[in-house]
């Protein structure tokens, strides 16, 4: 356990939470929580497309919120960093697709093994070494490409819903200039809600249901591990952690617990396997929101991640109600709010990726591959963005790696 980075403490976390709580981190935590709740719709869509039982799909989403919400309370409180937890979306899509082929219990057994591999990667310090060896411009190129879709989704409604989109976007920028003490995200949300009320959004179909996670015993088969477990482990170690760590470093956090994030994600994935859930990991888009300048000063942004985790836990049993509410809300509402919250994160990642003279070609390839959303061998684009970005940079920008490797050798030797 010597490789796991030491945090602050949980002892005084409630007191420190109340001390650091302010309107900036509260509003960004709310936005991150709403974004995380909306991701449950992706699970529902994937499960429905795969022909999974509607009752299982709902339990799957409820477990996603409850388990990851609990880990999302612990991580930021212990490290005092904006470390919201969720699950892997590429992993969710694979999970839904393989259940009809290998069975639910076998898929969960494969998730359990993937979690154990991820836990070992964190405990042994492998993740920290990997993150030190990958050049930061390439990491941030990947992050910029990954988040580009949020920016595009923010401006896309200007074509199909120009009035509400213009109102919300203008409210954000105008309030940021005129009302310095009121977070512009709050103003943008209020402007959007007022528009929805004025135009008579239909809330008649909202229904309330209450359910909790259910225990299940996983099964272990070699075929399930090779089909699903191994790719999931690669995604968790090579894709999810680097994306979250890269976002935090891009926002100015110098000491980021890469090993701790990986180990807790592995442990959470092992726990999740007993409750119909495929994974636990750092939530990259939510991290971008909670770690952004919109959340206030650096040392208080951790509160936003705690709030997001609390929203998960509270909303989990009532997710049937949440789904109905989200379905009644136009898609542009969440898309615009998320895009506005991540805007400064996107600009920061692009600046780090392309403002220097090192690894520019590798950073460009990482950006393009991550933005493309391609999948190779069933593994998502952000993983390949890092791998191919490093490969391209190593071929065409070999001299840029000399400092990185010499620094790593110095650390290991002394």
Domain-by-domain residue ranges, the chain?
Answer: 13-413
Across the chain, what does the average pLDDT equal? 85
Instruction: Tell me the average pLDDT across 338-346.
Output: 80
Identify which of 75, 5, 24 has the alpha carbon closest to the alpha carbon of residue 300. Answer: 24
Residue 402 banded pLDDT, cuts 50, 70, 90 = low
Residue 407 banded pLDDT, cuts 50, 70, 90 = low
The predicted pLDDT at position 189 comes to: 82
Q: Which two tokens stand for residue 322?
A: 């949440």
pLDDT in tens, 266-323: 999 999 999 999 999 999 889 989 999 888 899 999 999 999 999 999 999 988 777 6
Sign for the pseudo-dihedral over CA of 46, 213, 82, 36: positive
From 60-64, 300-304, 348-352, 378-382, the region with the lowest mean pLDDT: 378-382
Would you say how long the chain is, in residues? 414
Please give the radius of gyration of the chain, using alpha carbons only, rounded to the nearest integer.
21
Residue 413 banded pLDDT, cuts 50, 70, 90 = very low
pLDDT at 390 over 70: yes
The predicted pLDDT at position 180 comes to: 65
Provide the 3-class DSSP secondary structure of residue 66. Answer: helix
For the whole model, what pTM was predicted?
Answer: 0.76
Identify which of 346, 16, 325 has the alpha carbon closest to the alpha carbon of residue 151. Answer: 346
pLDDT at 114 over 90: yes
The predicted pLDDT at position 404 comes to: 53
- Report whether 164 contacts 157 (CB < 8 A): yes
CA dist 414 and 399 (Å) reads: 24
CA dist 188 and 193 (Å) reads: 9
In sequence order, which residues have a C-beta less than 8 Å from that of residue 172 and are 6 or more positions away?
Answer: 184, 185, 187, 188, 340
- Report whether 334 contacts 153 (CB < 8 A): no
E strand or H helix that includes residue 230: helix 230-235
Query: Which of the listed ranges 101-110, 314-323, 341-350 does the model predict with the highest average pLDDT?
Result: 101-110
Phi–psi pair at 282, nearest 5 degrees: -65, 140
pLDDT in tens, 220-245: 988 888 888 887 888 888 778 888 88
């Amino acid at each position: 356990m010597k490789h796991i980075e030491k945090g602050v403490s949980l002892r005084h976390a409630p007191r420190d939470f109340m001390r650091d709580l302010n309107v900036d981190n509260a509003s960004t935590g709310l936005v991150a929580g709403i974004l995380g709740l909306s991701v449950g719709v992706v699970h529902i869509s994937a499960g429905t497309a795969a022909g999974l039982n509607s009752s299982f799909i709902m339990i799957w989403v409820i477990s996603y919120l409850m388990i990851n919400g609990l880990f999302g309370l612990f991580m930021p409180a212990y490290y005092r960093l904006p470390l919201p937890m969720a699950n892997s979306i590429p992993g969710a899509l694979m999970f839904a697709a393989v259940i009809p082929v290998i069975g639910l219990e076998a898929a969960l057994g494969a998730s359990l093994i993937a979690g154990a591999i991820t836990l070992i990667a964190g405990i042994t310090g492998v993740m920290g070494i990997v993150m030190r060896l990958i050049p930061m411009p390439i990491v941030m190129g990947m992050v910029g490409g990954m988040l580009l879709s949020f920016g595009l989704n923010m401006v896309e409604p200007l074509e199909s819903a120009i009035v509400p989109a213009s109102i919300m976007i203008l409210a954000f920028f105008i309030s940021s200039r005129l009302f310095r003490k009121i977070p512009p995200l709050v103003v943008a949300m209020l402007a959007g809600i007022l528009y929805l009320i004025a135009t008579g959004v239909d809330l008649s179909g909202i229904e309330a249901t209450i359910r909790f996670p259910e225990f299940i015993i996983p099964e272990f088969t070699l075929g399930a591990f090779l089909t699903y477990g191994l790719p999931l482990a690669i995604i968790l170690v090579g894709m999810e952690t680097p994306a979250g760590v890269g976002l935090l470093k891009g926002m100015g956090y110098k000491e980021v617990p890469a090993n701790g994030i990986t180990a807790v994600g592995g442990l959470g994935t092992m726990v999740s396997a007993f409750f119909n859930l495929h994974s636990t990991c750092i939530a990259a888009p939510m991290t971008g929101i909670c770690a952004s300048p919109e959340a206030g000063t650096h040392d208080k942004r951790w509160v936003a991640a705690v709030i997001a985790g609390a929203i998960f836990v509270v909303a989990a049993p009532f997710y049937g109600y949440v789904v109905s509410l989200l379905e009644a809300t136009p898609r542009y509402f969440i898309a615009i709010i998320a895009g506005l919250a991540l805007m400064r994160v996107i600009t920061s990642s692009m600046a780090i990726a392309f403002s220097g003279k090192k690894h520019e070609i590798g950073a460009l390839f990482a950006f393009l591959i991550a933005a493309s959303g391609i999948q190779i061998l069933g593994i998502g684009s952000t993983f390949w963005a890092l791998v191919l970005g490093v490969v391209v940079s190593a071929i065409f920008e070999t001299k840029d790696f000399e400092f990185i490797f010499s620094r790593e050798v110095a650390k290991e030797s002394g």
